[in-house]
Structure 1
């Protein structure tokens, strides 16, 4: 086999011209799904982390059960539970006016991803908050700073610096896990790949998908490394 034949086998210009735009669309859907769910998950995760650190026993137990469930069960099972399980209760959701949500695969997938990553981010944030030295809290108390001011101005900035690495790993894991969205008819990157393969039976489309996933992960990895470097300049 010549080099030209090998190049054609791995990068068919006609196939690329025909389906390339669809891959770009799928890539954008993946980026949108991961970006929105990760951001919402971060906000929810912070609330859950604070609940896990609360002096209220009931709140600690409720948030602990939440984290245990979503970290202990597969994301795929959670997605199917939301879309196929709760989505089967059509009459109930129609009665309370929420059927528009649970009949939509995109919204159910977004919710499943948000709830799942929130549990992981909550534990990351909880650990990073606990890593801040107790002496700094005592110093803020001696300065008569309120608990909210102490948390917002002293505790949170330092804990985020500790958490940025683990949060970056969680984001990368989410990017790779997002491929399961294709199982509920979402035309993300993997969904488009499966569709194109079903029409062409050309294995190179999976190679394209792998390269695009690697590209996204590498961009995220380098961006996080740059951000972490800039944020930690003052302690180097």
Structure 2
């Protein structure tokens, strides 16, 4: 029994040849999903606040669907539902892509976090004072320079508190990867529980690891807030 527990600890924390550990897989899923979602959502958030309905409506529909349905259902549709279609299996690239649990999990996570992040950034863009935009226009900024040097930097700074919550939620959401047989922290904890019946130990260890990662991320975002949002802190009276 002790040897079996040590084996699962090794799968969670220590590298074993070319195999990733459970912690490494969880962090890999998190970094890939939030990085891709972050980059895509910047462009979508600009379209979301556009005055052109043909730009705004498709983005609104995308965020409405992915924020209105559970991530678990989205993962099941992408991993199991799409691969059951003949059109997917008959296409060489699509068949290669959707038969992988890793790729399906990443796609589901990216689409989900992109929807939420788009709305976060769009709200931050709307909150920018009109005076800043008018000042940029007075200096002769084009729309491209306006978004690049004024709107996007200001919106990203304002969105840090809300975006930090989204990153933590995405860390927790990676635990659904076991659905696609991806060996993340929860998948290894479930395997340990099924082999040893030590439910409290198996899932307790997983909970502690998730907490440690969460608190580390919270600390990093607090540092970012103190650096980039210091000008928004209330002035201290003498």
Partners in 2 of 1:223 and 1:13 — Cα distance? 36
Match of 2:213 in 1: 216
89-98 or 157-166, larger mean C-alpha shift: 89-98
CA contact (8 A) 2:158 2:229 kept: no
Structure 2 runs not aligned, ≥5 long: 14-20, 234-238
Give 1:160 deviation, angstroms.
Answer: 1.0
Partners in 2 of 1:235 and 1:169 — Cα distance? 19
CA contact (8 A) 1:90 1:99 kept: no
Match of 2:225 in 1: 228
Partners in 2 of 1:57 and 1:91 — Cα distance? 32
Kindly tell me the number of residue pairs found equivalent between the two proteins. Answer: 225
How big is each residue's C-alpha offset from its partner over 1:49-85, in whole Å with a ceiling of 9 and x where there is no partner? 1111122212211111101000000000100111111
How big is each residue's C-alpha offset from its partner over 1:11-36, in whole Å with a ceiling of 9 and x where there is no partner? x9655532211112111101100111
Q: What secondary structure, in the 3-state scheme, does the structure 2 residue paired with 1:54 have?
A: coil
- Superposition CA RMSD, Å: 1.6
Higher helix share: 1
TM-score between the two structures when normalised by the length of structure 2: 0.90
Q: Which fold has the larger relative contact order, with Cα–Cα distance below 8 Å and residues 6 or more apart in sequence?
A: 1
Q: Post-superposition, which runs of at least 4 consecutive aligned residues in structure 1 deviate over 6 A? A: none
Matches within 5 A, 1:100-179: 100-179=96-175
Partners in 2 of 1:190 and 1:64 — Cα distance? 33
Match of 2:18 in 1: none
Q: What secondary structure, in the 3-state scheme, does the structure 1 residue paired with 2:93 have?
A: coil
Match of 2:16 in 1: none
TM-score between the two structures when normalised by the length of structure 1: 0.90
Q: Does 1:30 align with 2:26?
A: yes
CA contact (8 A) 2:82 2:88 kept: no
CA contact (8 A) 2:8 2:188 kept: no
Give 1:132 deviation, angstroms.
Answer: 0.7
Partners in 2 of 1:214 and 1:195 — Cα distance? 20
Give 1:232 deviation, angstroms.
Answer: 2.3
Match of 1:3 in 2: none
Q: What secondary structure, in the 3-state scheme, does the structure 1 residue paired with 2:183 have?
A: coil
